[in-house]
């Protein structure tokens, strides 16, 4: 089925690996021109080159989503080269887990700055071109953790904030032809997840709490992204699509 995003300009932050890379590949496979946005230009460039070698269209940009001026300049450059941005996927994120009594100011602010403030800065910079063209799909990556999790107060607050921002912007931007939705992934098997010292414990706990008897895969999240980026989702906005195999805690 043609989902109607061929030749659309798609920007994916945090796009060089893991969930971001899976969504970059999926969007490119549907004919979108994808901008791989990451702090690591080498990784972003390698993914863009892979897509081009497979017949797709992609380019890489390096920018720290925490840096407001740099974000504005990066978005301006993309619009100058391509004329518009049709699809924005805010996937840049990280976690720094600590109990509340041990949570450092640095780790609190780092997670809030990257996950929540970064989503705000990039979205604020992209919205004017979407409004000018009367069309846009904004997809924010939240998390199942937004419902609450242990030793993750910074991450939970940031992801819950992203969900709230999503709903506020859906109300604000709907009449401009822009939909704004969020995806809340559950535990997904990624290289980053496997590198965690608590991986074995987290994996077992996720399997115990997931009703589908398997963990999430990158393709599960990429498929959700494609739907929300598609023409078929035009009447869907302000929604949180939880992709967690039935897990709620």
Instruction: Identify how many contiguous H helices and E strands the chain contains and give both numbers.
Output: 9, 7
Q: Is 235 marked active-site? A: no
Q: With beta carbons less than 8 A apart as the criterion, state whether 50 and 75 touch.
A: no
Question: For 129, which DSSP code?
Answer: H
The single residue of 121, 135, 155, 199 carrying the catalytic annotation is 155
9 CB-near residues (< 8 Å, 6+ apart): 32, 33, 35, 78, 82, 83, 84, 85, 86, 87
Give the closest residue to 180 by CA, choosing from 140, 126, 220, 131: 140
Long-range contacts of 198-207 (CB under 8 A, 24+ apart): 206/247
Q: With beta carbons less than 8 A apart as the criterion, state whether 58 and 12 touch.
A: no
The tokens for 118 are: 């970064």
What residues are labeled active site? 155
């Amino acid at each position: 089925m043609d989902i109607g995003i061929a030749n659309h300009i798609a920007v994916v932050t945090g796009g060089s690996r893991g969930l971001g890379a899976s969504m970059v590949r999926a969007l490119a496979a549907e004919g979108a021109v994808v901008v791989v946005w990451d702090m690591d230009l080498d990784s972003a460039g390698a993914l863009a080159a892979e897509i081009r070698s497979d017949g797709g269209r992609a380019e890489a940009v390096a920018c720290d989503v925490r840096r407001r001026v740099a974000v504005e300049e990066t978005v301006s450059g993309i619009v100058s080269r391509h004329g518009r941005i049709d699809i924005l996927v805010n996937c840049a994120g990280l976690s720094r887990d600590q109990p509340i009594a041990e949570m450092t100011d640095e780790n609190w602010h780092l997670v809030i700055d990257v996950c929540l403030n970064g989503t705000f800065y990039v979205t604020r910079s992209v919205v004017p071109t979407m409004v000018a063209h009367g069309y846009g799909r904004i997809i924010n990556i939240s998390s199942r953790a937004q419902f609450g999790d242990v030793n993750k107060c910074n991450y939970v607050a940031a992801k819950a904030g992203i969900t709230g921002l999503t709903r506020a912007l859906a109300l604000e931007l709907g009449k401009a032809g822009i939909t704004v939705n969020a995806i809340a992934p559950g535990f997904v098997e990624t290289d980053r997840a496997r590198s965690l010292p608590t991986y074995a414990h987290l994996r077992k706990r996720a399997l115990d709490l997931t009703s589908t008897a398997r963990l999430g895969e990158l393709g599960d999240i990429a498929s959700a992204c494609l739907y929300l980026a598609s023409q078929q989702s035009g009447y869907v906005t302000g929604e949180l699509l939880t992709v967690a195999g039935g897990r709620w805690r």
